[in-house]
């Protein structure tokens, strides 16, 4: 899967680096849905979050089997998904009987499909937004985004972000720090926050820690061939545990990660 992405990147360079077309509107395209019947919410006070970059949504059915059956993922209250298409986000949400919101970031000209971030929830989604992040790709000029959703977990509102920060080839560490800082600025008005996704960095979480977030995924097993690149940060929670899920080969070039935490009162 990594080599497939590398070949695509090289193809983009040959084609003049214009590998994607941005969706610059902060309101649209927008896709939402609620599966019928909605999954039964968990009967406990802990929140289980899973983040998964399913590479270009190419192995959705295999990913669904893992999400349904793996003990660390099958009871997830919230799913943060990256590299999604609208049909893929809806298929996963319907299969798991979860509500969802999805905003495409770009149209990828190599894979001929939209790519973006989705939030899926067993709990009601009260509102949502698309954040267009600063620091566009230095070569392709493509943007990065975060999909935000406010969910009602029992009697508390939680702001949730699913994001995919730039790669080292895109903009480097300073750019990723700027992108993460932009999301955290939006989150300042919320007392309880879950921020996760493909960070393309093993250490950008130091920025989140400096802003008062818990970084429980700091020491989990690697989520990618290049290391620990996927993370979940929380604020206003008491973290309990986190880990990486070992999945069958060729579903994605990333492994899903999970986190369990209890919202603070």
- The model's confidence at residue 7, banded by pLDDT at 50, 70 and 90, is very low
pLDDT of 30 strictly over 50: yes
CATH number of 2-263, picked from 1.10.645.10, 3.60.10.10, 3.30.360.10, 3.40.190.10: 3.60.10.10
CB atoms within 10 A of CB 182: 18
Q: What share of the chain is helix, strand, coil (3-state, %, to 5)?
A: 25, 35, 40
CA distance 183 to 37: 32
- The model's confidence at residue 10, banded by pLDDT at 50, 70 and 90, is very low
Per-residue model confidence as pLDDT tens digits over 193-250: 999 999 999 999 999 999 999 999 999 999 999 999 999 999 999 999 999 999 999 9
What is this structure's pTM? 0.93
Do the bridges between strand 237-244 and strand 257-263 make them parallel or antiparallel, or are there none, so unpaired?
Answer: antiparallel
Q: Where are the domains of the chain?
A: 2-263
pLDDT of 153 strictly over 80: yes
Per-residue model confidence as pLDDT tens digits over 69-85: 999 999 999 999 999 99
What is the maximal distance between C-alpha atoms in the chain? Answer: 54
């Amino acid at each position: 899967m990594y080599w497939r992405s590398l070949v695509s990147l090289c193809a983009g360079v040959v084609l003049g680096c214009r590998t994607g077309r941005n969706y610059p509107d902060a309101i649209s395209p927008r896709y939402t849905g609620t599966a019928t019947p909605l999954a039964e919410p968990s009967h406990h006070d802990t929140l289980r979050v899973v983040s998964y970059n399913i590479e270009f949504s190419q192995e959705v059915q295999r990913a669904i089997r893992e999400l349904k059956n793996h003990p660390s993922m099958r009871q997830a209250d919230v799913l943060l998904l990256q590299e999604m298409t609208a049909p893929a986000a809806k298929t996963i949400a319907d299969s798991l009987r979860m509500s969802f919101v999805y905003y495409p970031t770009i149209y990828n000209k190599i894979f001929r499909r939209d790519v973006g971030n989705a939030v899926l929830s067993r709990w009601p989604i009260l509102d949502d937004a698309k954040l267009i992040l600063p620091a566009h790709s230095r070569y392709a000029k493509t943007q990065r985004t975060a999909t935000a959703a406010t969910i009602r977990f029992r009697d508390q509102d939680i702001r949730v972000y699913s994001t995919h920060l730039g790669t080292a080839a895109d903009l480097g560490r300073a750019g990723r720090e700027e992108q993460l800082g932009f999301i955290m600025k939006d989150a300042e008005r919320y007392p309880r926050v879950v921020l996760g996704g493909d960070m393309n960095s093993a250490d950008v979480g130091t920025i989140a820690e400096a802003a008062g977030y818990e970084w429980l995924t700091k020491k989990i097993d690697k989520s990618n061939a290049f290391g620990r690149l996927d993370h979940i940060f929380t604020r206003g929670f008491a973290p309990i545990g986190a880990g990486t899920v070992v999945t069958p080969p060729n579903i994605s070039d990333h492994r899903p990660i999970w986190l369990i935490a209890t919202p603070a009162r």
